Structure 1
Amino acid sequence: MNSYSRAHITVRFTKRNCVPPPRRRSPKPSPSPPEGRPVANMWAFGATDEIRIADPRGTLLRLWSYLDAHRATLVGAAVSILVVSGLSMIPPWLAKHVIDDIIPRSENAGTKLAQIGVALAMVHIARAVLTYVNRYAIAVVGQRVVLTIGREMFGRLERMPMRYFERQESGVTMSRLVNDVNALQQALIGPTVNAAVGIIDMCIYVFILTNLNWRLTLMIVATVPALIVTTRVISDVLRVRYRRVQESAARVNAVLQENVAGVRVARAFARERTELQRFESQNRQNMGANMEAVRVQAIATPTMQMIAAAGTALVMWYGAAQVMTSHTTIGELVAFMTYLIAFYQPIAQFSEVNNVASQALAAADRIFGFLDQPIEAEKPGAVDLPPIRGYVRFEGVSFGYQAEQTVLHDINFDVQSGEVVALVGHTGSGKTSLANLVGRFYDPTAGRVTVDGYDLRDVTLHSLRSRMAIVLQETFLFASTIRANIAYGRLDATDAEVERAARLANADEFIEKLPDGYSFNVAEGGSRLSRGQRQRIALARAILRDPRILILDEATSDVDTETEVQIQAALDRVIEGRTVFVIAHRLSTIRNADKIVVLDHGRLLEIGSHHELIARDGAYRQLIEMQFAPVRASAEPVSVPVA
């Protein structure tokens, strides 16, 4: 194999100089993703998911499948709630006994009242202890369920196909992973307990009230259907409203995320006012969605209170009449009214619980919609890829990002183990798409890609990608130390191995000059380093992985000549003995490759070495001559370099 970078001629195959053929018209939008949600439009400023009404029954049943794993804890909490509810029935009964039995007779009244006081104190202490137990138990279950769902969502995110990230805004995804999970968490911890206690209490109150006075109880029961209908209607409306709130909040998050990531672009083009207007527009939509929910809440609470007040008024009117006709006692009426107030008390809480539960159901619906998204397909029975030599073959490969648009057409060529292959062509010719198929970020729509004879669709993704490394043009570094970013290539690497990889990537010199050396925190995206420094850290990360197949996507673009020389020198050492795919515009990067693949609009035009392609006087030579055209126009004639 030839030396990879003897010459460092910084000539670019750029769109400006090459003047590629006219690009085809933009493709139609891709078909709607699962669940009927439309694909995001970047100019819609975050418009993504359409509002769909949650299926309460299906969502609750699915949520219960997570709670069922903690059945023993929930049963213990339920028993505790039942005992607490039973204890709460005792004070009104004791009040009735005091009014009807102790006060009229007065003998030993002091002793009896003292005993009742002690009994009440013990009841309240027992209630306090048991309330702590059930609330803590349910909070533990809620936190564990949220932890499980969060883990599943993140695991799903890690396995989402690349198409998901292309059509979904990162701010919307963040909203689901954070806001929706938090909404579900709030419902599972607090309101769930209140709702459970309230329902149990109401059932017990109905039983006791019936025993006290069934005629008065009938008046209360007459108001229950109105309460149920009101609650059901309000729940249905709120569920839709809160779905809209969460969707609008997701769009606000999307705008925020984009502005944080693109703050330099916004300021460079003096678009602060435009971005502020954009944010205000989304924020106002979010406020409007919240106000719609608030209006429903504002109607719900007084409506339910009016129903409860009507029931209470009927009981007071009829109960007073019964006392005056001696059909009931004063103590019995007092006890009945006390139980009645306690019976209606959860109704006021139900309004708040209903709001939180509606938010949680809408959030759970979005969460389960996220979990139902398709993941990267792995063929049933896929095998682990054994140690490979790195022989890659493209057999009749065609590919398109959408069904109606093909970006690669019947590609056929092979790459021997240890060869360096340069992918050349104008912007949009299919270079990156071809490289993406090697890493199986996408599957071909026709044909196959093999490594050492294995169809990539027949091997596990982990075993394939663990034998590869990629260095991208837009290098991404995590907000951590330089050592941690290099070690990301192999997490079990020692400090010595990390430093050796840095030396091979020509990164050790600038690292040692930093204030904390390898412990220097590069900040989010590596913003505290220059582009060339980030590229060398990324190269060191790839070196540490020791891959059999290495993909370099514009790894030396947009850096100065001195930095390019350093990166090229590092690449000379790295590529030895590996299969390397190089996507590049610079002649210095590709001229010494073993093979150069020339692409045009997804079709393979030529393949061969630099010398062979120059001799053919075809598309490759024309591309190079276009690069030298400006030089010829302003200076003496320059011959095309062939060595």
Structure 2
Amino acid sequence: MSAQHPLRKLLSYASAYKTDFRLATLYSVLNKFFDVLPEVLIGVAVDIVVNGEKSFLAKRVLGGFGITETWHQLVLLGVLNAVIWMGESWFEYLLSLKWRKLAQNLQHDVRLDAYDHVQKLDMAYFENQRTGNLMSILNEDINQMERFLNGGANQIIQVICSSIMVSAVFFALQPSLAVIALLPVPAILFGAFWFQKRLAPRYAEVREAAGDVSARLNNNLLGLATIKAFATEEFEKQQIGAASNAYRNANARAIAVSSAITPVIRMAILAGFTATLVYGGWLTLHDELAVGAYSVLVYLTQRLLWPMTGLAEVADMYQRSMSAIDRAMNLLDTPIQIRYDGKALPQAQVSGDIRFEDVSFAYGEQTTLHHINLHIPAGKTVAFVGSTGSGKSTLVKLLLRFYTPASGHILLDGVASDSLNLQDLRRVIGYVAQDSFLTDGTIAENIAYGLEQVSDADIAAAARAAEAMEFIEKLPLGFATRIGERGQKLSGGQRQRLALARAILKNPPVLILDEATSAVDNETEAAIQRSLDVVSKNRTTIVIAHRLSTVRQADCIHVMEAGRIVESGSHEQLLAYNGSYAALWRLQTGER
């Protein structure tokens, strides 16, 4: 079964806008109808001037009303001309308004729905995606769709309408000439579709190359400090140059085809116009075609065939848009693997008792956790230590349902976590990562992130509990100070204190600190540790750390190696075991 056409996907998605599509199409048709009529009036005017009271208009239309005088016919023609021009202008305004509004509404909906869909995808999806490529879809591809709806759709409709209307006039006035004059039309349309079919894979390649450029630029801008530190500006410039060159070459391959459309169509137009001019003139000289009718057909041939040169631009815009729409619709069609609905979980009823029952997990082919059985009692502080890649962070990612276990179950207060409403589950867990996300907002906005109706007093209390007041009070605007993108105006330690204040303000039954102190100085670590001693009371706290000094006060410490828990106990018990933990302790403290 062949894949669904991108335009059909878009129309299916935009079913709520069916009425708008129909109205916009109607306005385009009516505008073209009024647009064609002036050429007919030119022929009628020529006929009136040449034949006077014996004109076609006097004999066939106005004779019954007694309007046969040449001057009166011309006056009536002038009034009719004004009505036609006003009608064309009115529907030009309506079609422009409707198509542009439709384009704006649709691009807004697609972008918002696509972004919302991306947020709901499981973390495994992002392991195979680049942020810049997703940015290219959410921004440039959707903008390309908007540009097509702004003008391209109307052009296609009007070319079709023009062909039908002019053909009807031709056949009504001179069937034999109509057949000759319209012979190029099938060739023009066939050529346009032939080129369009060959443009499709080329523009798909262009969109992929554009996504690659966007991905590289996004990655480099985020890592600019590292690039500067390693003096690799020239190397990265060459990498961006290679990606940009690939994009340029992909465009060149598409342009080589799209540029040929107009010359081919012009040759077909030349044949049609020449046939009308010469053969129509011959018929007129032999009194088989009226002078007015000949004038109409000459003008209409121009009106019919010349706009078809625009098919090149339309075909180019259409195919670019179809490639962009296809990428956006495919993103929306990406299945959401994590279940969001489930049992409601009121925060007030959560005590924080957590169990891992025979939990295993693998990233692709690499198994990270092996049959983990673990109980974390409510209100206790539990720590996980071990070497990088031992599976510590994976445990909390499974608890937060960033991923789904390959086997086994995770229970919160005796209820399977995958049966709970996902948003409710995450709201009862406070999460502080090694590199916490901060918005380009104020200090207060970042502390209150995700919460509604938070008082200034509560924000200040959370900052005080996280020992962040000292640096906040030194800022020029205090809590109203904007901290820049990703909090770049703050030091690493200050960012971590804000992230901890955010978690404290959330007041969750379960608090997770995933390497939260690994990138801070000793003073900041000591401050965060003092805060933890206070905020961890009466709540389940999970601490993941490399520095054992951070976790020595935990109720229970679990040592992990290669996805398994190899030791468990308090700091003193683990030292007494003289195993892996004791070896790590001696290594970090310098004891022999």
Determine the C-alpha separation between the residues in 2 that align with 1:88 and 1:409. 74
1:599 is displaced (CA, Å) by 0.5
1:383 paired to 2:343? yes
1:183-208 Cα shifts (integer Å, max 9, x gaps): 00100111111221221121111111
Cα deviation, residue 121, structure 1: 2.1
Instruction: Give the unaligned 5+ runs of structure 2.
Output: 54-67
Alignment match, 2:64: none
Distance 2:100 2:429 in 1: 44
Is the partner of 1:555 in helix, strand or coil? coil
The question of 1:538 aligning with 2:485 is answered no
SS of residue in 2 equivalent to 1:422: strand
1:60 aligns with 2:22: no
Distance 1:436 1:73, change over 3 A: closer
SS at match of 2:568: strand
State the percentage of identical aligned residues.
Answer: 35
Query: How many residues in Structure 1 have an aligned counterpart in Structure 2?
Result: 576
- Cα deviation, 1:373-423, whole Å, max 9, x if unaligned, reads 1224217x7212242100001111111111x22111111110000111110
The 8 Å contact of residues 398 and 444 in structure 1, kept in 2 or not, is answered as: yes
Task: Give the CA deviation at 1:489.
Answer: 4.3
Give 2:46's aligned amino acid.
Answer: I
Task: Name the aligned partner's letter for residue 253 of structure 1.
Answer: S
| Counterpart selection for 1:159 from 85, 110, 120 | 120
Tell me if structure 1 keeps the 8 A contact 2:25–2:154. Answer: no
Distance 1:578 1:568 in 2: 16
Equivalent residue, structure 1, for 2:410:
449
CA–CA distance in structure 1, aligned partners of residues 87 and 333 of structure 2 = 45
Counting only pairs closer than 5 Å after superposition, residues 504-515 of structure 1 correspond to structure 2 as 504-515=465-476
- Alignment check: 8 A CA contact 1:103 1:109 kept: no
Structure 1 regions of 5+ residues with no counterpart? 1-53, 638-643
Q: Does 1:394 align with 2:341?
A: no
Mapped to 2, the partners of 1:532 and 1:426 lie a distance apart of: 23
- Residue of structure 2 aligned with 1:342, choices 303, 319, 330: 303
- Mapping of residues 414-493 of structure 1, within 5 Å: 414-493=375-454
8 Å contact kept, 1:487–1:498: yes
Tell me if the contact between 2:385 and 2:548 (Cα under 8 Å) persists in the aligned partners.
no
Distance in 1 of aligned mates of 2:572 and 2:408: 30
Offset, 1:491:
2.9
Aligned to 1:87: 34
Quick check: 2:338–2:404 contact (8 Å CA) kept in 1? Answer: no
Which residue pairs with 2:148 in the alignment? 187
Tell me the SS of whatever aligns to 1:396. strand
Higher relative contact order, structure no. (Cα contacts within 8 Å, ≥ 6 residues apart) = 1
Letter in 2 for 1:161: D
Q: Is the partner of 1:190 in helix, strand or coil?
A: helix
- 2:65 corresponds to which residue? none
Aligned position for 1:282: 243
User: CA 1:489–1:62 in structure 2 vs 1: closer, same or farther (change >3 Å)?
Assistant: closer
Distance 1:139 1:77 in 2: 9
More helix by share: 2
The answer to whether the 8 A contact 1:489-1:544 is kept is no
Sort the Cα spacing of 1:513 and 1:83 in 2 relative to 1 into closer, same or farther, 3 A.
same
AA in 1 matched with 2:372: I
User: In the alignment, which residue of structure 1 is the partner of 2:91?
Assistant: 130
Asked if residue 119 in structure 1 is aligned to residue 80 in structure 2, the reply is yes
Query: What's 1:73 paired with?
Result: 20
Q: For the Cα contact (< 8 Å) 1:102–1:112, is it kept in 2?
A: no
Contact map agreement 2:269 2:306 (CA 8 A) in 1: no
SS of match in other structure, 1:547: coil
Aligned with residue 269 of structure 2, among 308, 313, 325: 308
Q: Is 2:369 the partner of 1:408?
A: yes
Deviation at 1:369, TM superposition (A): 1.2
Aligned to 2:509: 548
* Structure 2 equivalent of residue 99 of structure 1: 46
Aligned to 2:284: 323
C-alpha distance in structure 1 between counterparts of 2:37 and 2:412, whole Å:
77
- Work out the CA distance in 1 between the residues paired with 2:22 and 2:334: 33
TM-score by length of 2: 0.94
> 1:146 corresponds to which residue?
107
**Which whole-Å deviations, capped at 9, do the CAs of 1:266-312 have from their partners, x for residues lacking one?**
11111001001001111111111111121112101110111111111
Question: For residue 239 of structure 2, what is the amino acid of its counterpart?
Answer: R
Between stretches 166-175 and 489-498, larger displacement belongs to 489-498
Alpha-carbon displacement from aligned partner over 1:584-603 (angstroms, at most 9, x marks no partner): 12222111101111110111
CA contact (8 A) 1:584 1:590 kept: yes
Counterpart residue type for residue 354 of structure 2:
V
Deviation at 1:235, TM superposition (A): 0.9
For residue 400 of structure 1, give the secondary structure of its aligned residue in structure 2: strand
Q: Deviations over 1:525-556 (max 9, x none)?
A: 11111111101000000011111111101112
Q: Structure 2 residue aligned with 1:229, among 175, 181, 190?
A: 190
Q: Give the 5 Å matches for 1:10-21.
A: none
Residue 77 of structure 1 deviates from its aligned partner by: 3.1
Letter matched to residue 103 of structure 1: V
- Asked whether the 8 Å contact 1:195–1:353 carries over to 2, the reply is yes
Mapped partners of 1:225, 1:587: distance in 2: 79
> Once superposed, what is the RMSD of the aligned Cα atoms?
1.8
Deviation at 1:134, TM superposition (A): 1.8
How far apart, in 2, do the equivalents of 1:248 and 1:254 lie? 10
Post-superposition offset of 1:103: 3.0
Query: Is the CA contact 2:132–2:217 (under 8 Å) kept in the aligned structure 1?
Result: yes
When residues 512 and 304 of structure 1 are mapped into structure 2, their CA distance, relative to the original with a 3 A threshold, is same
Give the letter aligned to residue 385 of structure 1: L
Write the distance in 2 (CA, Å) between the matches of 1:68 and 1:590.
56
